[in-house]
Chains A and B, each alone.
Chain A
Amino acid sequence: MAPGSASSQFFPSLTPVGCSWSDGGCSRWTWPGVWNWGLSGGARGGGPGASAEGARDAEDLLRSLGGGERGAPRRVGPPGPDGSQRGTLRPGSVPGQDTIRKMKNDFRKMEDEMDRLATNMAVITDFSARISATLQDRHERITKLAGVHALLRKLQFLFELPSCLTKCVELGAYGQAVRYQGRARAVLQQYQHLPSFRAIQDDCQVITARLAQQLRQRFREGGSGAPEQAECVELLLALGEPAEELCDEFLANARGRLEAELRSLEAELGPSPPAPDVLEFTDHGGSGFVGGLCQVASAYQELFAAQGAAGAEKLTAFAQELGGRYFALVERRLAQEQGSGDNSLLVRALDRFHRRLRAPGALLAAAGLAEAATEIVERVARERLGHHLQGLRAAFLGCLTDVRQALAAPRLAGKEGPGLAELLANVASSILSHIKASLAAVHLFTAKEVSFSNKPYFRGEFCSQGVREGLIVGFIRSMCQTAQSFCDSPGEKGGATPPALLLLLSRLCLDYETATISYILTLTDEQFLVQDQSPVTPVSTLCAEARETARRLLTHYVKVQGLVISQMLRKSVETRDWLSTLEPRNVRAVMKRVVEDTTAIDVQVGLLYEEGVRKAQSSDSSKRTFSVYSSSRQQGRYAPSYTPSAPMDTNLLSNIQKLFSERIDVFSPVEFNKVSVLTGIIKISLKTLLECVRLRTFGRFGLQQVQVDCHFLQLYLWRFVADEELVHLLLDEVVASAALRCPDPVPMEPSVVEVICERG
């Protein structure tokens, strides 16, 4: 566009004249090549068009000169196979000579005409030559005049240049000014030794400097937005300003604007303002900062593409620095979001954030913005998982608190039975719904439409390590741990944990072991199609952990309940004066209490655990009394025999061996059924009774009271245990020990014992 149009403007009259006759003629001007710069351009650009025009002119001239002769050469053209000619030939076949004669005649005529034509042509040529000769002189003069005219116009342009430039600058037509200046610069440069040109050049330089200054001013002010700035830069570059400086200035300028964006973002963060929600925030950031950065980057790359690697590095560093600050702000904002429960908003915000950064990311691959953004998203996702894990834990603890309250409350209301089964169902469903809610919430991160969901992290590690291992397995583990911590609580003595809670947790863990864990994990695996190959905790391991937890809890429950009853029995034995007690008339109240409590425990456990297996009972088991002690056993028991190292009296020994043929593990692990639990509790209680009895000394009536009490326990406790023989053995042992601790062991008649016990 530039050279062609420029030449047509410079030499409006030159083109038709100079080119009509001879293209090369103009360049042959010998005046020391002054026009070379302009003419060569003109010849280049205007050449083809001009020569075509010239040819047409020559034809017109010929036409006007030749007059009527114009059609002649066409008639001379070789005659086509004309239909009419053939028509005349065919009838002439009879008189062949006629035809031949006619043809001869025709040819002769034609020859004559051709000769005439030749003469005409010679005349025309002659005329033409004469005309040319006549016009030659004028033509040369015209050409020369045109040349001079063009030169003068150029000179005029040069002389007018300073004022023109000033005018342009004043009008703000910087582009025009720069173009003028650019056009004149080389000429001025070349002829600066001529004073007149020098003056022009000086003027121009002054004006150009002013122009540059104004441009820079505009550039710096920067209020006019990136496109205009870009124009400024373009003009400045055209003015030959150093590119590197411009790069820096351009970036500094852009930095100003972007920093303003960042500041406004930071203001939104504030100390604690009514902050706009995170989506709005990332929108602002995305449109303001990221958009600005994009503009800057693309403008820069367009303007300074010629600067090569160094320029690109500058831009990269610039983008990295500002991007880093932007990320810091975003992270601060996202950190504020940690507490909130709304994942969808966060994910949308992250999505926008990530999406917006893809453009500059592609533009500035070296700055690693997209990667950094992905990293932030990943970090937030991880934190989110952590948050959800915390949430689940809190929910679990909340459930436990609810259960505690529920366990405490109904007793106040006087309602029988706190509905353990319902509580358990509530807890289980509540936890499950929390888990599902959390899964749904974190599932948003992997939704198809989310821009970052196809990143490798979200396809692999996030699903397997993050969600499955971190969140779900982590929660189940922490749940087990929380539950187990009740076993180790310092409140061993009193029971800060209500036993019912232990029982409920134990059942909960057992349910997890049997069904819930595999259900949850299947659910998770389905929702998060795990493509990651990293090893995950197998269901069986988790189940084993849950089972172990359940077992420990149940064992602890047995211990706690056993301890409660033990303490009752122990106090009752320790605080009584057994030597001076009166003859027993009643079962001691504490024994009734023991039976009542055991029954209550039986009911409680029965709410959550199945019955379990018992050994077959003898039909009359409750009818057994402690007659054995009064008769057979005591016979040999106190006979002293001083045989060294000899076994004790065989009777006693056999009794003892019978007693311990199956060693009774007092605090043995329990099975998951009611009978086993009750057996454990009763074992602990009776063993305590035994040990306490052995530490006391009994009078006759003291022994009898123990007899009565034990019979009473026998009557009521056998039904709770798996093997009633166990109760017999332990109670036998208690009475036997009491007898040993009695200086005057006179047992009560079994019938009397029975009567007393039946009386209650």
Chain B
Amino acid sequence: MEDDAPVIYGLEFQARALTPQTAETDAIRFLVGTQSLKYDNQIHIIDFDDENNIINKNVLLHQVGEIWHISTSPADRGVLATCYNKPSDSKVLTCAAVWRMPKELEPGSHESPDDSSSTAHTLELLCHLDNTAHGSMACVTWEPTGDGKRVISLADNHILLWDLQESSSQAVLASSASLEGKGQLKFTSGRWSPHHTGTQVATANDTTIRGWDTRSMSQIYCIENAHGQLVRDLDFNPNKQYYLASCGDDCKVKFWDTRNVTEPVKTLEEHSHWVWNVRYNHSHDQLVLTGSSDSRVILTNMVSISSEPFGHLVDDDDLSDQEERRPEEKSQEPPQDSVIATYEEHEDSVYAVDWSSADPWLFASLSYDGRLVINRVPRALKYHILL
């Protein structure tokens, strides 16, 4: 069966920020934030109609500045957080804020999308994550399994844990920690682990990856020189609690077991330039997606270090609690780690890739020139994993 062709959507502005609507589990929806210094920035809400292969978009105005990072609440479909540059004459400061999108744009209200192009809605500001004392915000990450009340933001060398109170209209700094050392230490990215009841966060600064305990805000592990150069992104394996993927300017993607930080478990070197993004599939953690400034998106099958290293084996110890959909066991040798596909639809650096929160076989990638590409996992592989 032929794979569906990728669906391409073009934005008018440069863009770096992409996120799925995490709390949405039915509709395939991505949010893209633009970067423009002269015009009002926008958040494009992109709905993908899988059956008809059609994209619907809604545009939200984000007038406070160009968006560097965007993330959505895992609990409330209407709530999102952005990191944005405030336009200023003398100095650039990146701030972060929590927003609520207009009610009518929340899923379910599928009113006629025809004239949505002309009408740009405005975001409702819920609160600022006040960073005047801490410097530029690099990213905001939500507690993955929580009720959408706790976020962590990374500002220069500080890691800040916020409690969102009163329907998220107020952000209270619950605790914080900062990185001390010589030179200007700056967090580049961070992820909140879905395991350990949400008590672990991993951050990246320069070539180092650190793990933090959110209760004490103390460091629990540290991978020095995780990459030869800057670490750009991290992601936790959703099914294996100690596994962490990282990527960086050395063109490599590395997989770590945080219990043993001296050596990566695996290293991939498929990209020919900096790798900006790495994402585990939420359901099938052997599928790993990476985006790079070599303009390519690569989907890799890391089956050997996944939670299903031999596919689904019936005689595996009790798997009844997992959602098992393939009944029969195929007599075949364990599949090898391999690149599944290299997607070359982008013509500029790809700064963001992510899986859909609704459809585990679908992902989006965004390149700097504003091109959003929606792709699917090849069907053959999909059925191979499922059956």
Q: A residues within 8 Å of B by Cβ?
A: 490, 492-493, 563, 577, 579-580, 638, 640-648, 656-657, 659-660, 663, 665-668, 687, 691, 694, 697, 740-743
A697 nearest CB neighbor, chain B only: B92
7 of the cross-chain contacts (CB-CB < 8 Å) are A563-B229, A640-B13, A642-B12, A656-B348, A697-B92, A740-B14, A740-B37
B57 CB–A CB distance under 8 Å: yes
Please name all residues of chain A whose beta carbon is closer than 8 Å to the beta carbon of B293 when the two chains form the complex. Answer: 666, 687, 691
A661 nearest CB neighbor, chain B only: B347
Question: A575 to nearest B CB, angstroms?
Answer: 9
Report whether B251 and A579 are in contact in the complex, using a CB–CB cutoff of 8 Å: no
Q: Within the complex, which residue of B118, B251, B368 is in contact with A667, where a contact is CB–CB below 8 Å? A: B251
Question: B105 to nearest A CB, angstroms?
Answer: 15
Report whether B369 and A648 are in contact in the complex, using a CB–CB cutoff of 8 Å: yes
Report if A641-B347 is in contact (Cβ < 8 Å); known contacts: A492-B250, A668-B272: no
Report whether B57 and A644 are in contact in the complex, using a CB–CB cutoff of 8 Å: yes
Please name all residues of chain A whose beta carbon is closer than 8 Å to the beta carbon of B308 when the two chains form the complex. Answer: none
Report whether B295 and A667 are in contact in the complex, using a CB–CB cutoff of 8 Å: no
- Inter-chain CA distance A668–B272, complex, in Å, is 7
Please name all residues of chain B whose beta carbon is closer than 8 Å to the beta carbon of A490 when the two chains form the complex. Answer: 225
Question: B10 to nearest A CB, angstroms?
Answer: 6
Report whether B90 and A579 are in contact in the complex, using a CB–CB cutoff of 8 Å: yes
- Inter-chain CA distance A666–B272, complex, in Å, is 6
1/0 per residue, CB under 8 A from A, across B200-237: the answer is 00000001000000000000000001001100000000
- Inter-chain CA distance A439–B228, complex, in Å, is 42
Please name all residues of chain B whose beta carbon is closer than 8 Å to the beta carbon of A645 when the two chains form the complex. Answer: 9-10, 55, 57
Please name all residues of chain A whose beta carbon is closer than 8 Å to the beta carbon of B338 when the two chains form the complex. Answer: none
Task: Please indicate which of the listed interface residues A640, A645, A687, A691 has the most CB atoms of chain B within 10 Å of its own CB.
Answer: A645
Question: B275 to nearest A CB, angstroms?
Answer: 11
Could you tell me the dominant secondary structure of chain B's interface residues?
loop
- Inter-chain CA distance A640–B9, complex, in Å, is 16
Please name all residues of chain B whose beta carbon is closer than 8 Å to the beta carbon of A563 when the two chains form the complex. Answer: 229
B-side interface residues, number (CB < 8 Å): 39
- Inter-chain CA distance A660–B348, complex, in Å, is 8
Report whether B12 and A663 are in contact in the complex, using a CB–CB cutoff of 8 Å: no
Please name all residues of chain A whose beta carbon is closer than 8 Å to the beta carbon of B91 when the two chains form the complex. Answer: 577, 579-580
Please name all residues of chain A whose beta carbon is closer than 8 Å to the beta carbon of B207 when the two chains form the complex. Answer: 493
Could you tell me the dominant secondary structure of chain A's interface residues?
loop
Please name all residues of chain B whose beta carbon is closer than 8 Å to the beta carbon of A493 when the two chains form the complex. Answer: 207, 225, 228-229
Please name all residues of chain A whose beta carbon is closer than 8 Å to the beta carbon of B258 when the two chains form the complex. Answer: none
Residues of B216-268 contacting chain A, CB below 8 A: 225, 228-229, 250-251
B349 CB–A CB distance under 8 Å: yes
B180 CB–A CB distance under 8 Å: no
Question: A587 to nearest B CB, angstroms?
Answer: 25
B6 CB–A CB distance under 8 Å: no
Report whether B38 and A691 are in contact in the complex, using a CB–CB cutoff of 8 Å: no
1/0 per residue, CB under 8 A from A, across B7-30: the answer is 001101110000000000000000
A668 nearest CB neighbor, chain B only: B272
- Inter-chain CA distance A665–B294, complex, in Å, is 7
- Inter-chain CA distance A697–B38, complex, in Å, is 12
B117 CB–A CB distance under 8 Å: yes
B321 CB–A CB distance under 8 Å: no
Q: Within the complex, which residue of B37, B55, B348 is in contact with A741, where a contact is CB–CB below 8 Å? A: B37
Q: Within the complex, which residue of B37, B92, B117, B294 is in contact with A642, where a contact is CB–CB below 8 Å? A: B117
B383 CB–A CB distance under 8 Å: no
Q: In the complex, given contacts A644-B116, A697-B85, what are 11 additional A-B residue pairs having Cβ atoms less than 8 angstroms apart?
A: A577-B91, A580-B91, A641-B12, A642-B117, A648-B12, A657-B347, A659-B347, A666-B273, A666-B293, A666-B294, A667-B272
Report whether B37 and A691 are in contact in the complex, using a CB–CB cutoff of 8 Å: no
Please name all residues of chain A whose beta carbon is closer than 8 Å to the beta carbon of B99 when the two chains form the complex. Answer: none
Question: A582 to nearest B CB, angstroms?
Answer: 13
B316 CB–A CB distance under 8 Å: no
Report if A691-B117 is in contact (Cβ < 8 Å); known contacts: A640-B12, A742-B37: no
- Inter-chain CA distance A492–B231, complex, in Å, is 14
- Inter-chain CA distance A694–B16, complex, in Å, is 11
- Inter-chain CA distance A657–B345, complex, in Å, is 12
Q: What are the nearest 3 A-B pairs in CB distance?
A: A492-B228, A743-B37, A667-B272
Report whether A743 and B349 are in contact in the complex, using a CB–CB cutoff of 8 Å: no
Question: A221 to nearest B CB, angstroms?
Answer: 71
- Inter-chain CA distance A207–B26, complex, in Å, is 121
Report whether B92 and A579 are in contact in the complex, using a CB–CB cutoff of 8 Å: yes
Please name all residues of chain A whose beta carbon is closer than 8 Å to the beta carbon of B37 when the two chains form the complex. Answer: 697, 740-743
B87 CB–A CB distance under 8 Å: yes
Report whether A648 and B38 are in contact in the complex, using a CB–CB cutoff of 8 Å: no
Question: B178 to nearest A CB, angstroms?
Answer: 20
Question: A36 to nearest B CB, angstroms?
Answer: 96
Task: Please indicate which of the listed interface residues A579, A644, A687 has the most CB atoms of chain B within 10 Å of its own CB.
Answer: A644
B111 CB–A CB distance under 8 Å: no
Please name all residues of chain B whose beta carbon is closer than 8 Å to the beta carbon of A644 when the two chains form the complex. Answer: 57, 116-117
B349 nearest CB neighbor, chain A only: A691
Question: A696 to nearest B CB, angstroms?
Answer: 8
Question: B114 to nearest A CB, angstroms?
Answer: 10
- Inter-chain CA distance A77–B273, complex, in Å, is 138
Please name all residues of chain B whose beta carbon is closer than 8 Å to the beta carbon of A656 when the two chains form the complex. Answer: 347-348, 369
1/0 per residue, CB under 8 A from A, across B45-68: the answer is 000000000010101000000000
- Inter-chain CA distance A175–B112, complex, in Å, is 135
Report whether B9 and A743 are in contact in the complex, using a CB–CB cutoff of 8 Å: no
B370 CB–A CB distance under 8 Å: yes
Question: B325 to nearest A CB, angstroms?
Answer: 34
- Inter-chain CA distance A564–B294, complex, in Å, is 20
- Inter-chain CA distance A742–B91, complex, in Å, is 13
B117 nearest CB neighbor, chain A only: A644
- Inter-chain CA distance A638–B272, complex, in Å, is 30
- Inter-chain CA distance A577–B117, complex, in Å, is 38
Please name all residues of chain B whose beta carbon is closer than 8 Å to the beta carbon of A741 when the two chains form the complex. Answer: 37
Report whether A687 and B273 are in contact in the complex, using a CB–CB cutoff of 8 Å: yes
Please name all residues of chain A whose beta carbon is closer than 8 Å to the beta carbon of B10 when the two chains form the complex. Answer: 645-648
B346 nearest CB neighbor, chain A only: A660
Please name all residues of chain B whose beta carbon is closer than 8 Å to the beta carbon of A667 when the two chains form the complex. Answer: 251, 272-273, 294
Question: A700 to nearest B CB, angstroms?
Answer: 11
Please name all residues of chain A whose beta carbon is closer than 8 Å to the beta carbon of B90 when the two chains form the complex. Answer: 579-580
Please name all residues of chain A whose beta carbon is closer than 8 Å to the beta carbon of B117 when the two chains form the complex. Answer: 642-644
Question: A445 to nearest B CB, angstroms?
Answer: 43
Question: B112 to nearest A CB, angstroms?
Answer: 13
- Inter-chain CA distance A409–B193, complex, in Å, is 51
B88 nearest CB neighbor, chain A only: A579
Please name all residues of chain B whose beta carbon is closer than 8 Å to the beta carbon of A740 when the two chains form the complex. Answer: 14, 37
Question: B187 to nearest A CB, angstroms?
Answer: 14
B363 CB–A CB distance under 8 Å: no
- Inter-chain CA distance A520–B250, complex, in Å, is 38
- Inter-chain CA distance A741–B370, complex, in Å, is 15
- Inter-chain CA distance A577–B88, complex, in Å, is 13
- Inter-chain CA distance A644–B89, complex, in Å, is 32
Question: B16 to nearest A CB, angstroms?
Answer: 9
- Inter-chain CA distance A644–B274, complex, in Å, is 31
Report if A743-B251 is in contact (Cβ < 8 Å); known contacts: A492-B228, A646-B10, A657-B347: no
Report if A691-B274 is in contact (Cβ < 8 Å); known contacts: A580-B90, A643-B117, A647-B10: yes
Question: A267 to nearest B CB, angstroms?
Answer: 51
Please name all residues of chain A whose beta carbon is closer than 8 Å to the beta carbon of B272 when the two chains form the complex. Answer: 665-668
- Inter-chain CA distance A645–B117, complex, in Å, is 10
- Inter-chain CA distance A656–B10, complex, in Å, is 14
B16 nearest CB neighbor, chain A only: A694
- Inter-chain CA distance A659–B295, complex, in Å, is 13
Please name all residues of chain B whose beta carbon is closer than 8 Å to the beta carbon of A642 when the two chains form the complex. Answer: 12, 59, 117-118
- Inter-chain CA distance A742–B57, complex, in Å, is 28
Please name all residues of chain B whose beta carbon is closer than 8 Å to the beta carbon of A694 when the two chains form the complex. Answer: 349, 368
Task: Please indicate which of the listed interface residues A493, A665, A666 has the most CB atoms of chain B within 10 Å of its own CB.
Answer: A666
Report whether A660 and B89 are in contact in the complex, using a CB–CB cutoff of 8 Å: no
